[in-house]
Amino acid sequence: MQLKNIDRGGAVLAIAVLAILPLVFDSRYLIGVLTVAAIYGIWSVSWDFMSGLTGRENFGHSLFIGVGAYTAGFLNTVWSMNAWWSLPASVVMAVVFALIMGIPTLRLKGPYFALAMLSGAVIMQRLMLIFWEYTGGEEGINGIEPLIRSPLHFYWFVLAVLVVTTVVLVALARSRWGLILKAIRGDEATCQSAGLNVTFYKIASLVISAGVAGMGGALYAHYQLQVSPQLFAVVTSITIITMVYVGGMASIYGAIGGALLLTLMTELLRNFGEWRLMVYSVALILILFYLPQGLVAPTWERLRRSLSGGRS
Amino acid sequence: MLEIVIFGAVTSAIYAMLAVGFTLIFGVARILNLAHGSFYALGAYGAYVLTSIAGLPLVVATPLVVLGVALFGMGVERVLIRPMRKSQLAVLMISLAVALVVEQALFLIFGSEYRNVPSFVDTKLNIGGVDVAGQRLLTLVVAVAAIGALYAFIQRTRLGSAILAISQDPEAAQYMGIPSDRIFGVVMALSAGLAALAGIMAGPFLSVQPSMHLLPIVKAFAIVVVGGLGSIPGSIVAALMLGYAETLVAYGISTSWTEIVSVAATLLMLVLRPAGFFGKRAAF
Amino acid sequence: MFGHPISKRAFTQAAAAIAASAAMLPVMAQQAPIKIGLTTAVQLQVGRDTQDAARIAIDEVNAKGGVLGRKLSFVVADETENPETGINAIKKLTADEKVDVIVGGYTSGVTLAQLPHITSAKTIYLGVGAASPAITAKVKQDYETNKYIFRVGPINAAHQARSLTEWISGHLLGELGLKRIAIIGENAKWVQDLVPILRKGATEAGADVRFVELFDTSTSDFSPLLSKIRSSEAQFLVVILSHASSDVFAKQWYDARFPIPYGGIDVKSMDNDFFNRVGGKSISQLAANFAVRAPLTPKTQPFFDEFKKRTGRVPVYTAFGTYDAIHAYAQAVERAKSTDTNTVIKELEKTSMVGIAGQIEFDETHDVKAGGKFMNMLFVQWQANGERAVIWPKALRSGTMIMPPWLSK
């Protein structure tokens, strides 16, 4: 499937709008919301790359996010290192954890893989609480420095990271790599007998997914200026999965739309603060039922078809 | 120490009630029901509502709550899970979503503060020098009775045989004219009812707050994986193992480590022997 | 052509009217209310009482004409007990609602996470619920960045530790002759700050501290812990609880007819309906409270009565802090004759006001002073039928202390 000019045009337009929005409204609040949405976008896109393509739903994505965030936290406060070191460090740590968790569990199928990853995240969360003397326990690590002082510039930076990551992942997905991952989802045994090193591809995709998520975690740490065990919680993973479902599984770019939609929805519902998770859960149920293909990507597909006059 | 033996038994009993229901619905219908913890929560809250707000005596409230939650479980299976049965993962996700919805509903209605579920017995017994609350011992007794009754039901009745048949060979059962769909509903009801009963019994001495469904489901899943998905005896054995492991850790090291015990056990089992101890069908 | 020209008189009248309206404009613009942002755990008693106390204080100030001719108004943001939600609450209050001052707080961990976001928004923050000294310590460490932070209540964890020590020394040791004590607390920041000070103080006062443990806040089965305490042969169990399952603890303590009486700091026990919530199982528990309906200051009893009249409840400690904070802020703005943040901060520092539980004054770290004429900690016991009696300090004693029913034989 070729990337048409219309796809490129659409992407450029979307990016431009996102970048200019805060300038139009001149609201610090909006910048904050968009920054969080962009970070969730990074997490969702990374999840979709691995789980969407291979069909191995990872219920423990929060593990990589938390690891990245805590790495940033430690480097910045305990070891007083410059905030920019967080980015590569968080990627490295997340990759390490991906290997530790991934290698033994990737041979498991469907729900079992999901729950094995979930267990990993839960264990990390618990460990953060148990070793509270080193990790700050329930309250986590405070006093992290912002990466870029100006909220607007930081937002643009995060947006840039999101765009670059998405472009790279989409490119990978459309390449031979992506083809193999989708084939693995279809029938792993056949792939194996065809001589493909299935294990390598599965682990590699998990590693890439984790690295990106970890970096997102570091960005989040330098935005919230604080990390807590909540980052490892199941809720974080579920929120991301919901965003991907809304965006359209395996589309990768759709996840960004999902992240934006759901983050904005959260803010709008803030007056009904307690209802947020309820809405998420109900939304998830409705989507699973009525929109198994998601909302954003299918809509774009339809739009693009009608715009290009039915020749797709 | 006698203390560990007794408290370990009580803990194992509660876990067994949860695990047996969980493994039953999986063994029969291949449904990994992450909303199972919600049945436990609804049991406790149901008892709270009927006793504190409606003023009913606990003896009357209990069967009503158990029945109510059982019907709720049946409804969830019929309306939300059955249409999704093609994909095990979709079932997992939707059951998770149900669990979240229930948690949020409880949170919105009752607030996040702990609620008081009354006990059946308020006495304290002294067994061999160990002070044990009467309610805890009663829980142990009820658990044994309930699981025993369930086991007898499955072994001795026609409906029970149908359930066994489906769990052993779904297709053959279908050819024999056994209405699988309806049976799934019944099994879900039994599973939910048992979980609710656990909630009513343990509610008085454990915490009753909206997120109380999380830990039980993690433990139930751990036990079921260790014992072997679909095996009732396996769940009972694993429940005992886990219950005692946790109690030993709690008394020996500290309570902070108990949660990790179950989750680590799950992970280890999944990695080393996905079929569990007694499992017939592996996780592959 | 255009009819009657405007007469000179009419013109003058019109001009006068316009001039008068123009002069009124700045006054009318000033009528925009001063916005107070409340951040609290909305779902809990501490949160509900924060809001209700705020309403009472705001109504009182507005009834007297407001502050500098402007009324006070408030908005609420839920910070729950979770740092991330707390940070979002601050962002909402500062960037979106653009409040003039923030009042609230409950969990120390949440407040600590919120601090950098509050100071970067250069908004005054008056804490009413979090006790960790780390919150105000930053004021001294870096005044220019953190001068916005104040704590009006409660007295910080270090002060609380000293109050507890006094109680252990004067009451447990002095009056009851109980020497061996056990100390347990939830593993939260403020407890981590408090317990070492308490342990040292109690030992120096002559107590024999047999057992100390901090347990996981989410613990729901206390049997192992109770068992260890029992083996330590302590005669009294001092607890430090706020977010943990006080309800469950009370029930399990009672169900096991635990042979050791307990008491200390138990925030949930401050709740009016705690006794009923646990089915009466907290009987004989001694819990710290910061004010009761007694003439601690001229404002105490009227406040309790007004609160009861409006809500039917007895207020918990965040109510006192909130009420005092809003009055302190209003007075500071009046003295400063402006809402300019820096000027108001200078006036706040000079606060010397009658509060609900004692005189309100701030020390050099913007932390409320404790002891003597300032705020003190009272020890209140749950007795039969959910009645509460002040047992300590002796000067305020309102009843006789009881032992757990199964021990009084």
Which residue in the set A132, A137, A230 is minimally distant from C82, CB to CB?
Answer: A230
Same domain membership, residue C229 and residue C137 = no
Q: How far is CA A111 from CA A133, A292, B274, in A?
A: 35, 18, 12
> Omega into C154 within 30° of 0, i.e. cis?
yes
Whole-number pLDDT of residue C292: 84
- What average pLDDT does chain B have? 84
Contact between residue C77 and residue C38 where contact means Cβ atoms under 8 Å apart: yes
How far is the alpha carbon of B62 from chain C, nearest alpha carbon, in Å? Answer: 19
Residue A236 lies in a domain: yes
Same domain membership, residue C272 and residue C185 = yes
Q: Is A233 on the interface with B (CB under 8 A)?
A: no
Residue of C nearest to B108 (CA): C43
Whole-number pLDDT of residue A273: 56
Task: Please state the pTM of the whole predicted model.
Answer: 0.84
* Closest C-alpha to B18, from B251, B278, B185, B243: B243
Element (H, E) at C378: strand C378-382
Whole-number pLDDT of residue C294: 83
Q: How far is CA B165 from CA B19, C282, C362, in A?
A: 21, 52, 76
pLDDT score of C304 more than 60:
yes
CA distance C236 to C196: 18
Same domain membership, residue C172 and residue C111 = no
Q: Which residues of A touch C108 (CB under 8 A)?
A: 139
Average pLDDT of span C159-186: 92
Same domain membership, residue C391 and residue C245 = yes
Query: How many residues appear in chain C?
Result: 409
Tens of pLDDT along chain A (312 residues) come to 456 777 778 888 888 888 888 888 877 888 888 999 999 999 999 999 988 888 888 889 999 999 999 999 999 988 888 889 889 999 999 999 999 999 988 888 767 788 889 889 989 998 998 888 888 887 888 888 888 888 899 999 999 999 999 999 999 988 888 888 888 887 777 887 887 788 888 899 999 999 999 999 999 999 999 998 888 988 888 889 888 888 888 888 889 999 998 888 777 776 665 676 777 778 777 877 787 777 787 888 888 788 776 554
Q: Which two tokens stand for residue C132?
A: 């960790």
Domain total in chain A: 1
Q: Which residues of A touch C109 (CB under 8 A)?
A: 138-140, 228
- Verify whether the Cβ–Cβ distance B255 to C45 is below 8 Å: no
- Verify whether the Cβ–Cβ distance B94 to A288 is below 8 Å: yes
Alpha carbon of residue A26 to chain centroid? 27
pLDDT score of C86 more than 80:
yes
- Hey, CA dihedral for A272, A274, A278, A280, is it positive or negative? positive
Residue C366 lies in a domain: no
- Verify whether the Cβ–Cβ distance B131 to C251 is below 8 Å: no
Same domain membership, residue C393 and residue C275 = yes
Tell me the backbone φ, ψ of residue C310, rounded to 5 degrees. Answer: -80, -35
Confidence of residue B65 (pLDDT cuts 50, 70, 90): very high
Poorest-pLDDT segment among A87-91, A149-153, B97-101, B121-125: B121-125
Size of interface A-C (CB pairs under 8 A): 66
Same domain membership, residue C166 and residue C149 = no
Q: Which domain holds residue A111?
A: 3-307
- Verify whether the Cβ–Cβ distance C109 to A32 is below 8 Å: no
DSSP A220-233: HHHHHSEE-GGGGS
DSSP chain A: ----HHHHHHHHHHHHHHHHHHHHH--HHHHHHHHHHHHHHHHHHHHIIIIIHH----TTTHHHHHHHHHHHHIIIIIS---GGGHHHHHHHHHHHHHHHHHHHHTTS-HHHHHHHHHHHHHHHHHHHHHTHHHH-GGG-EE-PPPSSSSHHHHHHHHHHHHHHHHHHHHHHHHSHHHHHHHHHHH-HHHHHHTT--HHHHHHHHHHHHHHHHHHHHHHHHHHHSEE-GGGGSHHHHHHHHHHHHHH-TT-SHHHHHHHHHHHHHHHHGGGGGGGHHHHHHHHHHHHHHH-TT-SHHHHHHHHHHHHTTT--
Residue C111 lies in a domain: yes
Residue A252 lies in a domain: yes
Q: Is C78 on the interface with B (CB under 8 A)?
A: no
Size of interface A-B (CB pairs under 8 A): 95
Residue C6 lies in a domain: no
- Verify whether the Cβ–Cβ distance A142 to C42 is below 8 Å: no
pLDDT score of C23 more than 60:
no
Same domain membership, residue C82 and residue C204 = no
Interface test mutation site (partner C, options B110, B254, B257, max chain C beta carbons within 10 A): B254
Same domain membership, residue C221 and residue C144 = no
Whole-number pLDDT of residue B249: 86
CA distance A177 to A168: 12
Average pLDDT of span B214-242: 83
Question: At residue C297, what is the residue type?
Answer: T
CA distance B223 to B237: 9
Q: Which residues of B touch C228 (CB under 8 A)?
A: 251
**Residue B1 DSSP code:** -
Same domain membership, residue C170 and residue C114 = no
**Residue C169 DSSP code:** I
Interface test mutation site (partner A, options C142, C187, C217, max chain A beta carbons within 10 A): C187
pLDDT score of C222 more than 80:
yes
Which residue in the set B88, B107, B266 is minimally distant from A111, CB to CB?
Answer: B88
Which residue in the set B83, B96, B283 is minimally distant from A108, CB to CB?
Answer: B283
Q: Which two tokens stand for residue C216?
A: 């996981």
Whole-number pLDDT of residue B282: 42
* Closest C-alpha to B113, from A278, C80, C381, A281: C80
Residue C22 lies in a domain: no
- Verify whether the Cβ–Cβ distance B260 to A119 is below 8 Å: no
**Residue C148 DSSP code:** T
Confidence of residue C197 (pLDDT cuts 50, 70, 90): very high
Which three-class secondary structure state does DSSP give residue B119? coil
Q: Which domain holds residue C165?
A: 158-289+377-408
Same domain membership, residue C242 and residue C307 = no
| Chain A residue set in contact with C, beta carbons under 8 Å | 27-29, 32, 129-130, 132, 137-140, 142-143, 224-226, 228, 230, 270, 273-274
Domain total in chain C: 2
pLDDT score of C29 more than 50:
no
DSSP C28-97: HHHTSPEEEEEEE-TTSHHHHHHHHHHHHHHHHHHHTT-BTTB-EEEEEEE-TT-HHHHHHHHHIIIIIS
Residue A83 lies in a domain: yes
Same domain membership, residue C389 and residue C243 = yes
Confidence of residue C11 (pLDDT cuts 50, 70, 90): low
Residue A7 lies in a domain: yes
CA distance B135 to B125: 10
Residue A312 lies in a domain: no
Whole-number pLDDT of residue C1: 43
CA distance C403 to C28: 62
How far is the alpha carbon of B18 from chain A, nearest alpha carbon, in Å? Answer: 18
Average pLDDT of span C340-359: 94
Residue of C nearest to B110 (CA): C43
Residue of A nearest to B259 (CA): A126
> What is the CB neighbour count within 10 angstroms for residue A282?
15
Q: How far is CA A131 from CA A123, C194, C211, in A?
A: 12, 19, 21
Q: Tens digits of per-residue pLDDT, C257-267?
A: 899 999 999 99
Name, of B274-283, C26-35, C73-82, the range with top average pLDDT: C73-82
Same domain membership, residue C68 and residue C49 = yes
Q: Which of residues 53-82 of B touch A (CB under 8 A)?
A: 80
| CATH number of the domain to which C402 belongs | 3.40.50.2300
CA distance B162 to B231: 16
Whole-number pLDDT of residue C12: 55
Question: At residue C324, what is the residue type?
Answer: D
Question: At residue A282, what is the residue type?
Answer: V
Between strands C180-186 and C149-151, the pairing is unpaired
Residue C246 lies in a domain: yes
Whole-number pLDDT of residue B278: 67
| CATH number of the domain to which A122 belongs | 1.10.3470
Contact between residue C86 and residue C113 where contact means Cβ atoms under 8 Å apart: yes
- Verify whether the Cβ–Cβ distance A275 to B108 is below 8 Å: yes
Greatest Cα pair distance in chain B: 59
How far is the alpha carbon of A179 from chain C, nearest alpha carbon, in Å? Answer: 39
Q: Which residues of B touch C248 (CB under 8 A)?
A: 114, 205-207
